Every structure is written in structure tokens, then in C-alpha cells.
Structure 1
Amino acid sequence: MSEIRTAKTRRGKRELEKRAPKLVESGKKTLILHGTKTSGVLNAVLAQIHHLKKENSIKYSRKNESIKPFESGGETSLEFFSLKTDCSIFVYGSHSKKRPDNLVIGRMYDHHVYDLVEVGVEKFKPLESFNYDKKIAPKEGTKPFIVFIGEGFEAVDELKHLKEVLLDLFRGEVVENLNLAGVDRAYVCTAISPNKVFFTHCALRLKKSGTTVPRMELVEVGPSMDLVIRRHRPPNESIRKEAMRITREKPKKKEKNVKGDPLEGKIGNVYIPDQKIGEMALPNLAKGVKRERREAKRKNQNDEQAPKRKKEEES
């Protein structure tokens, strides 16, 4: 039976709230893992993917012998790491004679493997091999453009699947508005053949155009590589329908100083600002004060004359 986790501290409560299902999901975290054997090229690829997604990625450097994503029973360790780190995408690197420089990119749904794409890395060029002005280097936390060039991304099933996985891997958090100054990078994916994609990372250089919108130029900053599709496993149709289900409920806006009560319903707190009475403009009360004084004087006179009138009436 699955264990029901309850928070014992405030920090633990915040962590469980972050992992709870949401109507609008935040950016997906990436888990980077090594296989039993890896090559120098593959180690560099994994390190630079971690560098590109530094804010939303976790990298494990230990070798994992029990991970075999395409085999039955080889997903247990992946699901354990996904539950432990709350990562919904993983990149697993391994190297063998049959499949050299092999990358497996997969997505998770409810901490279970959703789909898999296996690619081979060829003609890899690291960041250090590109000569460019360091001033235009992309900054951490910026939003990237992702460009897919080629008809294969719309016609070939393998390329369509790879496109979906690469979008989830590199797009980061979904936003509605963008500041043009914060968009300084682009990932360009070009379909060379039905099973081969050229992937490169470019910086955006803004230049004068004579209008309010600047002219953009692409400067290759790396890394770049060829991705050869070897195997892919699409998601099960029933799992896909469940994962793509959209709730009709809309996220409610938080109302300040309002709370609900099962008996009285909606209860609101009203805060009245401090009233500075000494600085308030008051009406002229001189006439009213004089009238009160006259009435008080008449009353005193009547009280003094009352005993005299009583003696006269008795006499």
C-alpha cells in the first residue's frame, strides 16, 4: 500500500504543497542520470544539458546499473528517483558497442514512465569550441525560442514525438507575457532526414533596424550535435487521455481579508484607517455654544426664583 505523507513542519508543508497537483503546472524539473558505462562525449553532453537547465535540473553522477527504461522491470529505479526529486522529465546516458553515445529522454506522469525517445549523439561540439563575444552569451533564467525546421516534424511519427519531448525539455515555465530584453537565446532543430535532427544553441544579438522593433541575428554559441533516432515508445492511449484531461474549474483569484464560514457564509474584514480628528475641518459651532449658554442661564434664574414664588403663593 502507498504511504500517505503528512507534513510535520511548516517547511515540509510548503514542499508538499509544491508537489500537489495544480490547475496550471509550473516549469518541469529534469533529472540527469548516468548508466553503467559512459563515454567522454556523453559525459560532456549530460553536463552541458545540466548547464542549460541549471535552475530546473538535478544531476546524479553515480553509475546506475539497474536502469533499463525500455525493458520491463527496468523502470523501478527511475520511478523512485522521480518520486524522490519531483522531476517529470529525465535524461539517461549510456554507452555500449551496440548503441554508442546513447541518450534516452523520457517523460513521467504521476511518477510513472509516460513515453520514451532514444537517440544517438554524433558530431558533438561543446560550448568551449565556439568563438563568440562573451557579452552576448545567454544569461541564466531567460526564456528561449525553440525553432523546428523541416516538414518531417509534421509528417514523420518519430520526429513528431521527438519534437514534443524536446519542447518539454527546454521550454521551461509557461508564461503569458515576455520582455524582449529577456529573450536572448534560441534552440534550432533541423530535420536532416526522417530519423536525424541537427540540434544547436544560438544567442540572439539585437541590432538597429530603424524602427521600434530591433533586428535580430543568430550567433551560434553551442552546444551543437546530431541526434539520430534509434527507438521510441509513445504513451498508451488510455494514459494519454488521462494525462491530457483538462478540468473545467478555473483558478480562483485570492481574495484578501475574506474567509468562509459553514454557518455564516462569506465573512470579510474591513480595516478603517486612522482618523486624524485634530486635523479635520469642523463647522463653526459658536452660535450653538451661545444658545446653550443662554438656555443654561435662564434655567438657573428660574431655579433661583422658584422659592420666592412659592412663599408668595403661601402668603
Structure 2
Amino acid sequence: MKVVEMLRIKTAKTHRGRRELEKRAPKLVEGQKKTLILHGTKTSNVLNSVLTELYLLKKESSVKYTRKNDKIRPFEAGGETNLEFFSQKTDCSLFLFGSHSKKRPDNLVIGRFYDHHVYDLVEVGVENFRSLQSFSYDKKIVPKLGSKPLIAFIGEGFENVDELKHLKEVLLDLLRGEVVENLNIAGVDRIYVCTAVSSNKVYLTHCALRLKKSGTVVPRMELVEVGPSMDLVVRRHRLPNEGLRKEAMKTSPDHTKKKLKNVKGDPLLGKTGKIYMPDQKLGEMALPYKPKGVKRERREAKMNKGSMTHVSKKQKGEEST
């Protein structure tokens, strides 16, 4: 009987339950990814501030648990069970897990889920942390909650070093919010700047955008650091296996771009193409107006025809006489 109970598929009995299941079902176009924020067995004051302020920046799309979790160890075998359970419970695709120990102080693990299973992991150490309260700036330029941020990655390490390339992918998913096609410049009020200081260290800061007059239509932008800011030192990272990566990167055939024939992209001219037209027979085309030259030719032809008929009639009269 216990085996039958475990294999039984539970279905929603209320309309609210059905709506929740529909929201969590796979979709052709996924919405904004939610972030799960968790604490380990022991955390420091610095790490608590980091998790709290990251939660404030992503408040509209994050779930934060304040209880300590002693059974979560992302990089160890069997230590991901509770993490995957919380992912399925909250329907989150990203997670932040903070822990503190003598071997790894101020340790922050950033990871992603695929089908509510751990997809990949990046472990970083937090150094030189500055909170929001430590910055002094005009309160009028405070970024609005839920606004779309810009993200800038500075440094060759994000293209050459494997650890930083992996960290770049994870930070993009964590910070970018909902993917949109069109963006209004007036609504862009903040930016995350990630600078590769060395092969395993990244400086992350959050800045507000101040629009200034430039004499043209496009305004000039100035960066004002509003916090938080911190140094992220990469300690460990785990990439997904190639089979899982291919499965996760699959896209629906309905949303793939169809190849356009005879269309090319040029960096200077933009979108260019070829148009094939049949041979045009201008002599047989019906024109909307009659040119003056044609009228004159017809008038001369009519006059010549009239003179010929007059001469023929005269000749017939002479013959009859």
C-alpha cells in the first residue's frame, strides 16, 4: 500500500490549485526567473547584509528564507536534496546560498536549476563589502524598484578565463530580470558594473544613471555609485555536463527565425536584399497619361491621311470629266 501511495499522482482539486500548476508548467516563452535565497548553518554579519541587500534589489522576483539549513551542501553528493525540494516548492530557477566557516569565510554559492535539479554552481568569497547605507548621494536619483538594469562586463578575463566566463553567465541570469525586446531610455535608471580585477577576482558595484544635457537628442549619462559593492573571489565552480547543457539549450521550433532568401546584413547599409523582376516591355505598357509627343504624331498622321483623301477625290473628279 505504501508503494501505491508514493506512485499515486496528486492532482489539483481547486481552481486556485489548477492555476498554480499551469503557472509552473513548461512554457514556450519563459517569464522572469525567480531567485531563492538561503542561509547555511553559520553565517557572518557581512554575509547576512549581502543576502539582505541582494534580496532588496530583486524583491519582486525572489524568495528569502531566514532559517538556518544544516543539510544543504551544494558541492557534496547528497547535499542538494533539500535545495532541490525548496526549488520545486517555490518554483525558483536560481539560488543564493550563504555560509561562513574558518576554511571558507563569507562564502556565497550562486547556482541555477534545470527542471528543479541543480544545473551548475559557482562559489565565490565576498570581500570589501560596502552596504547601501555607506554611500552618500542625492535621494532623487535612487533607482526605482523593478526597473530594468543595464549590465556591463569590463575586462578580457570574461572572454579568456573559464571561471570568469562561467561567473558572467550566472551573474547575467541573476541580475538581468525579465527579458524584453524594446526598452525606453527614460526608464533605464541603474547599471551593474562588473570589472575583472584578476583571473579569479571581480569587482561588482551598483550605480544609478543620471541623465545630462548633451546638445543632441541622446542625453549624456553619468554613473553615481549607490551600492552595494563588493569583490567576488572565485573559489570553486561546477559546469553542467554536455548532454544536460544541450537539453537545457533547446528551443521551440515555432520560435526559431525562418531563413529569408536573398537577404543579407551589412554593417554599414544594414539589411540589404535582392529583388528579381521580369523583363519589362515598355512598348506594351498601358500608361496613365498620353505624352505630347504621341499626340503630335497622331495629329500629323491624321493630317497626312486627310490630305491624301483630298488628293484622291480630286483625281476621281478629273477622271469623270
Report the TM-score, using the length of structure 1 for normalisation. 0.78
Sort the Cα spacing of 1:2 and 1:98 in 2 relative to 1 into closer, same or farther, 3 A: farther
The correspondence of residues 91-170 of structure 1 with structure 2, limited to 5 A, is 91-170=96-175
- Following superposition, the deviation at residue 7 of structure 1 comes to 2.1
Identify which of 66, 70, 75 aligns with 2:75.
70
- Following superposition, the deviation at residue 206 of structure 1 comes to 0.6
Structure 1, unaligned runs of 5 or more: 252-315
Determine the structure 2 residue equivalent to 1:185: 190
SS in 1 for 2:88: helix
Q: Which amino acid aligns with 1:160?
A: K
Quote the Cα distance in structure 2 between the aligned partners of 1:35 and 1:53.
20
- Following superposition, the deviation at residue 5 of structure 1 comes to 4.0
Quote the Cα distance in structure 2 between the aligned partners of 1:10 and 1:135.
44
Q: Which amino acid aligns with 1:134?
A: K
Determine the structure 1 residue equivalent to 2:53: 48
Q: What per-residue deviation string (whole Å, max 9, x for no partner) do you get for residues 131-164 of structure 1? A: 0001100001100000000000001000000000
Q: Which amino acid aligns with 1:125?
A: R
Determine the structure 2 residue equivalent to 1:205: 210
Quote the Cα distance in structure 1 between the aligned partners of 2:7 and 2:173.
28
Identify which of 219, 229, 235 aligns with 2:240.
235
- Following superposition, the deviation at residue 212 of structure 1 comes to 1.5
Determine the structure 2 residue equivalent to 1:176: 181
Determine the structure 2 residue equivalent to 1:14: 19
Determine the structure 2 residue equivalent to 1:290: none
Quote the Cα distance in structure 2 between the aligned partners of 1:167 and 1:175.
14
Structure 2, unaligned runs of 5 or more: 1-5, 257-321
Quote the Cα distance in structure 1 between the aligned partners of 2:43 and 2:231.
18
Quote the Cα distance in structure 1 between the aligned partners of 2:158 and 2:13.
48
Sort the Cα spacing of 1:2 and 1:196 in 2 relative to 1 into closer, same or farther, 3 A: farther
Sort the Cα spacing of 1:10 and 1:210 in 2 relative to 1 into closer, same or farther, 3 A: same
- Following superposition, the deviation at residue 2 of structure 1 comes to 6.1
Sort the Cα spacing of 1:151 and 1:198 in 2 relative to 1 into closer, same or farther, 3 A: same
Determine the structure 2 residue equivalent to 1:195: 200
Quote the Cα distance in structure 2 between the aligned partners of 1:249 and 1:210.
45
Determine the structure 2 residue equivalent to 1:34: 39
User: What is the number of equivalent residue pairs in this alignment?
Assistant: 251
Q: Which amino acid aligns with 2:198?
A: S
SS in 1 for 2:153: strand
SS in 2 for 1:249: helix
Of all paired residues, the percent bearing the same amino acid is 77
Sort the Cα spacing of 1:215 and 1:42 in 2 relative to 1 into closer, same or farther, 3 A: same
- Root-mean-square deviation (CA, aligned residues, Å) is 1.2
